[in-house]
A = this chain, B = another copy of it.
């Protein structure tokens, strides 16, 4: 349960307020504004502000004086053209801001995306809650045998139980000791004989599955780039869980851009020059095998997977 009662009521209060605006407004996104979409066991994603809509992309591409729309079908055609040909700047004209609660090890992957604005909850200034990520059993997987950066088989019950117990106990003990070093306790009592360690130091005792939170704001182009990497099958499951929820918010916000993104980015494949040469030989009726294809074994494997053979 990611939200406390006072947090819920703060969110509800904000959802209950509205005002008139002359800005582009998207009803489907207004519907879910401020709402906390649960992710993993204690995390969430909330859209807390946005600027622009599908029309704003078109408007920027045309540098127009008014709304930029002629016909809806023309707008969608233009957006698809821009996406297909990687004319990326009009997509930068839409902006979105999220409030995200996430485990620190996920935050460390996420922050590598530099073209964004971030304000993280400060553990120099405040105390972190006793919340840490424990994977569901179906996500406790072994190291992949074929991919040094991936997961393979699901662990069996005994091994999974051992892992979960270690994760739970270590995170709990580390957080208990964090509070003890701070000379804080659940009931607010402090030992008057002790000073308590500075928060900026005590936090180093926490484990990497401890939850943090931040405000994260970026433009649509950079968001789609983030999603193309993090909603991808090669991304670690935990960050992909966030990316998938965010992709749904993009669909509510800019449905035309989202469709173009699925067609020309998420669902697209790139053939290298040697792959293209091999493909053309196949299409010309030639029998092509890996030896003689100009592709390494690894590339041949990727090629065969792409063409679905």
A residues lining the B interface (CB < 8 Å): 3, 6-7, 10-11, 13-15, 17-25, 30, 33-34, 49-52, 56, 59-61, 63-67, 77, 81, 84, 89-90, 92-93, 95, 97, 99, 103-105, 107-108, 111-112, 114-115, 117-122, 124-125, 133, 135, 139-144, 148-153, 155-156, 159, 162-163, 166-167, 170-171, 173-174, 177, 180-182, 194-201, 203-209, 213-215, 217, 219, 236, 262-264, 266-276, 279-280, 282-283, 296, 298-299, 302, 306-309
Which of B64, B115, B141, B263 makes the CB contact (< 8 A) with A201?
B141
* Copies of this chain, tallied across the complex: 4
A23 smallest CB distance to B (angstroms) = 6
- A281, closest chain B residue (CB): B308
Residue in chain B with minimal CB distance to A153: B195
Q: Which residue of B lies closest to A53 (CB)?
A: B49
Of the candidates B61, B77, B204, B282, the one whose C-beta lies within 8 Å of that of A119 is: B61
Q: Which residues of B contact A194 (CB under 8 A)?
A: 159
Chain B contacts for A273, CB-based, 8 A: 262-264, 266-268
User: A268 with B279: in contact, given A119-B60, A170-B177, A205-B167 (CB under 8 Å)?
Assistant: no
Contacts of A195 in B (CB 8 A): 142-143, 152-153, 155-156, 159
Question: Please, which residues of chain B bring their CB within 8 A of the CB of A153?
Answer: 195
Main secondary structure of the interface of A (DSSP, over half): mixed
Question: In the complex, which residues of chain B have a beta carbon less than 8 angstroms from the beta carbon of A200?
Answer: 149-151, 236
B25 touches A64 (CB 8 A): no
Q: Is B217 a contact partner of A163 (Cβ separation < 8 A)?
A: no
Residues of B within 8 A of A25 (CB): 19-21
Which residues of chain B are near A141, meaning CB under 8 Å?
Answer: 197-198, 201
Contacts of A56 in B (CB 8 A): 49
**Residues from chain B with Cβ under 8 Å of A201 in the complex:** 135, 139-141, 151
Across the interface, name the chain B residue whose C-beta is closest to A260: B272
Question: Of B23, B124, B302, which is within 8 A of A236 by CB?
Answer: B124
User: What 6 A-B pairs come out closest when comparing CB atoms?
Assistant: A10-B66, A267-B273, A142-B195, A92-B117, A204-B209, A19-B25
Distance, CA A270 to CA B108, complexed state (A): 31
Q: Report yes or no: B215 in contact with A204, Cβ–Cβ below 8 A.
A: no
* CB pairs A–B below 8 angstroms (5 shown): A20-B20, A95-B95, A103-B204, A150-B198, A271-B271
Q: A112-B118, A204-B209 are in contact. Are A95 and B217 (CB under 8 A)?
A: yes
Chain B residues lying within 8 Å of A213, measured Cβ to Cβ, are: 63
Q: Which of B10, B52, B267, B279 contacts A67 (CB 8 A)?
A: B10
Complex interface: chain B residues within 8 A of A7 (CB): 65-66
Q: How far is the CB of A66 from chain B (nearest CB, A)?
A: 3
* Residue of B20, B207, B307 touching A206 (CB-CB under 8 A): B207
Q: Which residues on the B side are within 8 Å of A50 (C-beta)?
A: 23, 51
Could you say which residues of chain B place their CB within 8 Å of the CB of A283? 282-283, 307-309
